[in-house]
Amino acid sequence: MKAWVLHDIGDIRYEDITMPPIKDHEVRIKVAACGICGSDIPRVYKTGAHRMPLIPGHEFAGVVHETGGAADPSLKGKKVGVFPLIPCKKCGPCLNSHPEMCRDYDYVGSRRDGAFAEYVDVPESNLVILPEGILLREAAMLEPMAVAVHAMFLGIMDGEGEISKNSRVAVCGLGTIGLLLAMFLKERGFENLYVMGNKNSQRERALKLGIAEDRYINSRPEDPFEGSEIKEDGFDLYFECVGRNECLSLGVGYLSPGGRMVTVGNPYSDMTLDRDTYWKILRNQLTIRGTWNSTFLQRDGREEINDDWDYVIRRLKDKRIRPGELISHRMPLEELERGLHIMRDKTEDYCKVMTVSDDGVIS
């Protein structure tokens, strides 16, 4: 099959490789669509993967092409999404229904071969069977959508249940995750929602999602909220989706007493807190939570189950969210390196860059 193989940092090649024999409890998926995650850029060009050579790619959907000897043969031909984290199922978090905090996980596209390829093998237990009507290119965004949903629930739920829909909420950072988070918050009924970005294209996408024009905040000024009512009132909830010190400190500075922050953005560098910022956390009794993934529970034949992925699937099925609007670039697999360069060098405006086969476009 054809695949993009990362041999070393900065050395990714499109080449023919031999597919290994399929394992008993795994299925082989013909990849229909695969998104390039922001984390793939440093993985390919800066840090490398956990092992190399390796095929990256963890945001994908496709059709089951073949099943292993112990997998369900009726899965063949099914359209599926895939949870890319493969939990050990033995550690404390796994046994407590939190595989996203597994202590000894494997991961498609960073620790084992992923979906920048024509085919990819995954455990049967990591599949999500797609209901009719869900486009494969939308299903390739299940993983970042579930990450956004997980972050949302960490923020909006407290010891007494869900916070008020009138709460003042901010999303700082309007990459794919930030925009999806804003989409889900609006769908949930949070209208007192501010979003912060630094590009005109981010503003345009936010407005298309239904964000009020006066609730889009340009994050470039030193104090983006100078002259705003937020200067006085602050936020009840702040999502940091950038991974930069200044965005973290801004959130701490503008959280109201007893407020909460959810950190979602992968860090660009070391994250540090100055003394004044730390004092604000102490004196305002702020809550800061972190997240990097989503909760996916084994289906065991059940069509619906209460986890982040099921939440996303139901809203996709009912057309209550529109993730396809965030796909800025679609290209065939052989042109994937062009997409990597667009994201690395920022030569074009982009949101979600994705490879698609004919199946990924049509179905």
305: helix, strand or coil: coil
Q: Largest Cα–Cα distance of the chain, in whole Å?
A: 65
Asked if residue 360 has pLDDT above 80, the reply is: no
pTM for the predicted model, two decimal places = 0.96
pLDDT of residue 222: 85
Chain segment 63-119, per-residue pLDDT in tens: 999 999 999 999 999 999 999 999 999 999 999 999 999 999 999 999 999 999 999
For the chain, the 3-state helix, strand and coil shares in percent, each to the nearest 5, are: 35, 25, 40
Q: Cα-atom radius of gyration of the chain, to the nearest Å?
A: 20
346: helix, strand or coil: coil
Supply angle C-alpha 346, 351, 354, rounded to 5.
100
What domains are defined for the chain? 2-145+295-362 (3.90.180.10), 163-290 (3.40.50.720)
Q: Residue range 322-331: average pLDDT?
A: 96
Q: Within 13 Å of residue 187, how many CA atoms lie on the same side as its CB?
A: 22
Distance CA 85, CA 23 (A): 17
Asked if residue 189 has pLDDT above 90, the reply is: yes
Instruction: Compute the mean pLDDT over every residue in the chain, rounded to the nearest whole number.
Output: 94
Question: For residue 232, what pLDDT band results from cuts at 50, 70 and 90?
Answer: confident
Chain segment 144-155, per-residue pLDDT in tens: 999 999 999 999
Distance CA 152, CA 185 (A): 7
pLDDT of residue 363: 44
